[in-house]
Structure formats: structure tokens, C-alpha cells
A and B are shown apart, each in its own frame.
Chain A
Amino acid sequence: MRGNRRIVILLLCVGTLHLAVFFAGFLSPYDFAQQDRELPFAPPTSLHFRDMHGTLRWRPSVCLLVERPAMFGTYDEDLQKCFALRFLVLGPEYKLPGLFKSRLHLFGVSGPAKVFLMGTDAYGRDIFSRLLYGGQISLLSGLLATALSLGIGASLGTIAGYYGGWVDAVVMRSGELFLALPWLYLLFALRAFLPLHINPAQAFLLLIGVIGAVGWARPSRLVRGIVLSGKERHYVLAARVFGGSDIYLMRRHLLPQTYSVLLTQATILIPQYILAEVTLSFLGLGVGEPAPSWGNMLAALQQYHVLVSYWWMWAPGVALIPIVLSYLLLASALQEKGALHRM
């Protein structure tokens, strides 16, 4: 029972993170591409809960930032000009993916002041907003690539295990080929032979394809093992005697046996593929500007002065840790549960 509760809590964590990213438009105060050239590398905005006279206010306020004369990227707050933070305000229009258009944002500030919860980048774009929008690309590519990889792996593994013989040999030998390569090298090599200069949407699809295609070997081996033993079970044999076709047997009786293993594999693969997307985009081989992804946001850190001077540019990297951690814990909880089941 304790195991179940842990799984539920972890699922809630993962779900919350994904939902936050899904509702990026609502949660973020600005558009991901909105630039503020007057405020490059502005530090995270401080929220003031006291006004000028020192009295406590429940509504935090934000003060105007003024660049110090002749000092690039160094700012002072103008305490005379403070503006209250407002909730549920109308701002730039956004679209929830697949749903509807809206202008309602969770919070925002009126007047000339800006609220940058995590500072801005070199073009004065709000990192908090970009982090949420970038999560859409990074997390979605992890999910889709996992679906692709498990889809290929499960179908090839089932076919190999079911038919056996030369089909099995071909599938398993080619799987070994993919396992014999260090997978990041393989990913790079595959990416190398595909066009370099493409628009972000194409790059996104390409990336999913490449990442998904590289990782099919391990799930296919696992599925094959289950199918090999599963096809000898009595109810499968009975279904075959009654004249069930191969396709029917595989779909109705063999694949369902592999679901728990596929689920565990998914929790292992998703964080790995999110990191793969981040890595490729970090090196400029993935999704490019102006679309944000956690990888290409981190790419700014390749410049040493950014790395050393502006700590808030690390935000996408730090955001990866809770995501990967909750998936890892979920995977180990599921594995423990699976081990209990088998006993």
C-alpha cells in the first residue's frame, strides 16, 4: 500500500510539472519572443511587500529598473516609481495548444515597470516566460520520442518474438547494432546526415524522429522476451486453436502482457529523451531561435561571461532536476511494484 501512495504522489508531481508547462501562456506574463532591448540581463525583479513609508502591503509591488549610466547590465531600482502586481490581468494574446485563444494572464504589472521573476536574457526577454514555453518543446519532445521509440520497439519485439526464426534473427541482430554504439554518438551521427538549416517546427519533428529511432532496441528486446514466454500460455494457444489470426493474437493477447514493462520503460526513457533534446539544442543541432527550448536557452552559457556573471541564466538547467528526479523515482517505484507482482 505504501508503494501505491508513493506512486500516486510522484504521479501528481510529474502531472503538475507537465500541466504548468501546458498552461505556459496563462502562467507567463509575457510572450516568449517579446524583447525589451533596454533591459538586457536584468536580474530577477524583487517584489516589495512594504511601500515607501514602510507599511506592510498584502499586494507586492514592482519598481522601475534604471540602468546605471555607462555600466552595461547593472541596474538600480527607482523606488519612487513602484507599481502594484496585479493578478488575472489582460496581456499579450496567446493560444493554449489545441484549445482556444486568450489574453488572460495569471499575473502582470501595469505601467512602465516589468516583472521578470527569473530575470532576462541578452535580448531582454523574460526568462520565466521562456522557461515555461521552452518546457513545452523540451517535455513534449521527450514524450513523443518515447512514444515513437516504444511503438517501434514493441511492434518489432512482438513480431520477432512471435514469428521467431529468421525474422527474430534479423530484428535482434540489428538491435544489437544500435546497442553497440554509444547512444549519444549515434544520435549525433544520425543528426549529422540530416539538414542543418531548417525552421524550428521541422527541427522539432526531426529531433523527435531521430531520438525516437535511436532508442528502440532496448524495449524491443524486453518485449520479445515477454512475447516468447507469453505465446506458450494456455489461453494464447487456445485462442490460436480457435482460429485467431496472427495479428489478432498479437494485438489482443500478446501486447497486453507487455504493458507493465512498457510503462516502466516509458518512465525511464522520457527523462533520458528530454535530456537528449536539451543536449542537441544546447549544441545548436536541435530546435533553434526564436523558439525557446531548455537546450537553446542554456546555450547562452557557452559564452564565458554569461556563465560567470548572470546566475539566473541557469534556470532551465535547474528546472531539469525536479523533472528528471520525479521520473526516476517513479521508475524505481514502478519497478519495485512490478517485482512484488511477479513474486
Chain B
Amino acid sequence: MRYFGHRVLQSIFLLIGVSLLSFAFVDLAPGNFFDEMRLNPQISRETVANLQRQYGMERAFPIRYVRWLKSVARGEFGFSFAYNAPVAPLLWSRARNTLLLTGSASLLAWLFALPLGILNAAKSRGWIDCAGGLVTSVLLATPDLLLALGLLWLALRTHWLPVGGILLPESAGRSEWQRLKGIGVHSAGPVLALVIGSLPTLTRHIRTAMIEGLDSPCARAVRAHGIPRWRIVLRHALPVAASPLISLFGLSLGSLLSASLLTEVVMSWPGLGPLLFEAILARDLYVVIGAVMFASLFLIGGMLLGDVLLFVADPRIRTERLA
């Protein structure tokens, strides 16, 4: 329990550091949301100055930071200039979609990668392994951008998948089932892009870990006892390989988040990605900071989850921490 407390505390400090960092960048940056207004002859100088004062833009750095922290405590995460609304509600609905996308993508990717990696390791240096190595190398070298564009092309060409958005047009105001169906159909493209993008990395890592597991003394001892091959792979080598794979799980969430940012923008999935992108173009600073905060929250959460799983799965860590 103390171990968890320590890790959670560490994560909170990390988040505070992230927010300070993004605030510092805001402070150093030239120009802000109101610069465009200043160019507009229909808006008087006083109005712009008043607006700036209203949003507290002319205050010193620490004061603005503390005000922002207060609004975080209220659950608002600052105020969006472009939407003229608190940031948090904007972020929540988008973050839900991003979470849905990355969650289902990572689940599917692991579901496919695990058997593939184990198969490649068990038949190491066989033709399956060679073919698998070739395919993963080429897929690894294919940029996420290209994958997303390729699936978009497929969707436009064949009409198998809908393009962009999240709800079916006929489902507006319909039943919950219709809504879910729409979300499922629309998420198929982005999820597929993310799964194909992360599959080769995962398969490779799983293969390496499994080969090491098969090479471990305990697996060799079991083989000397004449236990069937598949039983060795699944019952003895897999638990040995589990601990690096669990820490990989936490890290894979991070890379998936980065990939999903791009995929969301290209395939018009209403997640954090397009929101961040539009906020950058509009210089809507608090939305940018909020989106970055949410993304790092997910990443840190994922790593924390990985640590907890590792703690549960690996007795070595448990005894080490408790001692």
C-alpha cells in the first residue's frame, strides 16, 4: 500500500511539473488570442484591453498559474477564448472519444499481438517466424500517417466504412442502441489504423521476451523432464516473459496516444487530437494546456496501471518493496 501511495504521489508531482512546463511555454510565446482582434478595425483598443483584463492575461506568471490551479480545483481547467466556455466540459466529451479509441485499439492490438508473438517465438527461425519478421519490418517502417491515409482511401473507395464523425446521420435522437452502433461503425477505421500501427512493435517485443523466457533455466529444466513443447511455452515460458510485457503495456499506451492524435486528425474522429489542433491554430491557450494535461494524465495513468499489474503479477517486486 505504501508503494502505491508513493507512486501516486510521484505521478501527481509529475502532473504539476507538466502544467508548470506548459505554462512557462505560454509565457515565453509571442502573441496570443487577442492579437487577431487587434488587427480588426471594428474592435476598439479599449475593448481588447478590457477583454484581456477580464481574462487576467496581463497578470504576472505566478498569479495566472495560481488562478488556473484554482479553476482546476473547481473542475474547469481554465477558460476557452474561442468557445467562450470553461475548458473542462469541452475536454471531457473529446477525451471520452480518445479514450474509447485508444482503449479498444490497445485491447485489440494486444489480443492479436500476443498469440502472434508467442507463435513466432515458439517456431523461432521457422518459416512463420521469417515471414512474420519480414511483415513486421515493413509495417514498422510504414508511418502512421500513411496507414491512416490508406484506410481513408479504402473507406472512400469502397464505402465499407463511414468517413469522419462519430454518429450515423439517421441515429440523431434515436435509441441508445442506434447511437452505439454508429460509434462502433465509425470507430472501425481509426481503430484499425491504430491496431495495424502498433501491432508490429508489440509482436516484436513479445517475441523477444518469449525467446528469453524459453531460454531461461526453468524452461530448460522443464524441457529436460520431457514436458510437451506447447505446455512449456504457455505454462512456463509465458510467466517468465510476463513481467517485461506488463511494463511494455504501460509504455505502449503512450505511443498509442501519440499515434491516435494524428489518426484522429486525419480521419476526423472527434477526439482530443482535432480539438488540440484547432486550439493551436486559434491560439486558444488554455485548451492546448488542458489537452496536453489530459494526454499526460492518460499516459501517467497507463504507466501507473502497468506498475500495479506488475506488483500483482511479479512476486519479486512485492517482496523487494515490502522488505
Contacts and interface: CB of A to CB of B under 8 A. Distances in A.
Interface string A281-315: 01101000000000000100110100110000010
Is chain A's binding surface mostly helix, strand, loop or mixed?
helix
A186 interface: yes
A278 interface: yes
Nearest to A275: B143
B14 A185 contact: no
Contacts of B261: 182, 184-185, 188
Contacts of B29: 192-194
Contacts, number: 128
B65 to A, nearest CB: 15
Interface string A266-285: 00000100010011001101
Contact of A182 (B30, B145, B289, B295): B295
A180 to B, nearest CB: 5
A325 B25 CA distance: 35
A185 B156 contact: no
A325 B146 CA distance: 14
Interface centre among B152, B163, B258 (most CB of A within 10 A): B258
The size bracket of the interface on B is 35 or more
B48 interface: no
Nearest to B253: A182
A131 B299 CA distance: 36
Given A308-B156, A325-B141, A185 B26 contact: no
A242 B251 CA distance: 45
A184 B258 contact: yes
A194 to B, nearest CB: 6
B124 to A, nearest CB: 15
A72 B31 CA distance: 43
A298 B17 CA distance: 36
Interface stretch (B183-191, B224-232, B277-285, B308-316): B277-285
A183 B31 contact: no
A196 B295 CA distance: 23
A329 interface: yes
B25 A182 contact: no
A190 B258 contact: no
Contact of B292 (A185, A196, A322, A328): A185
A317 B25 CA distance: 32
Nearest to A181: B296
Contacts of B152: 304, 307
Contacts of B146: 317-318, 320-321
Nearest to B20: A177
B44 to A, nearest CB: 24
Contact of A189 (B25, B149, B266): B25
A195 interface: yes
Contacts of A325: 137-138, 140-141
A185 B257 contact: yes
A45 to B, nearest CB: 24
A204 to B, nearest CB: 18
The size bracket of the interface on A is 35 or more
A324 interface: yes
B138 A283 contact: no
Is chain B's binding surface mostly helix, strand, loop or mixed?
helix
B199 interface: no
B142 interface: yes
Nearest to A284: B281
B291 A185 contact: yes
B25 A285 contact: no
A337 interface: no
Interface centre among A176, A185, A186, A282 (most CB of B within 10 A): A185
B153 A189 contact: no
B37 interface: no
A320 B143 CA distance: 8
B262 A279 contact: yes
Nearest to B284: A192
Contacts of B138: 321, 325
Contact of A195 (B30, B149, B254): B30
Contact of A177 (B14, B163, B255): B14
Interface in B1-40: 14, 17-18, 21-22, 25-26, 28-31
B288 A192 contact: yes
Contacts of A176: 14
Contacts of B157: 308
B25 A190 contact: yes
A231 interface: no
B18 A191 contact: no
Given A185-B261, A186-B292, A192-B283, A177 B21 contact: yes
B271 to A, nearest CB: 12
B211 interface: no
B143 A307 contact: no
A252 interface: no
A235 B111 CA distance: 51
B321 to A, nearest CB: 20
Interface string B283-306: 101001101100110111000000
B295 A185 contact: yes
B30 A278 contact: no
B296 A308 contact: no
A308 to B, nearest CB: 5
Given A189-B292, A193-B29, A304-B156, A285 B262 contact: no
27 contacts: A173-B17, A176-B14, A177-B18, A181-B299, A182-B257, A184-B257, A185-B276, A185-B292, A189-B25, A189-B276, A190-B25, A191-B280, A192-B29, A192-B283, A193-B25, A193-B28, A195-B31, A271-B141, A304-B156, A308-B156, A314-B149, A317-B143, A320-B141, A320-B146, A321-B141, A324-B142, A328-B140
Given A185-B292, A278-B145, A304-B152, 7 more contacts: A177-B21, A184-B257, A184-B259, A196-B283, A279-B145, A317-B149, A321-B142
Nearest 9 A/B pairs, CB to CB: A193-B29, A325-B141, A184-B258, A192-B280, A182-B257, A324-B141, A185-B295, A182-B258, A193-B25
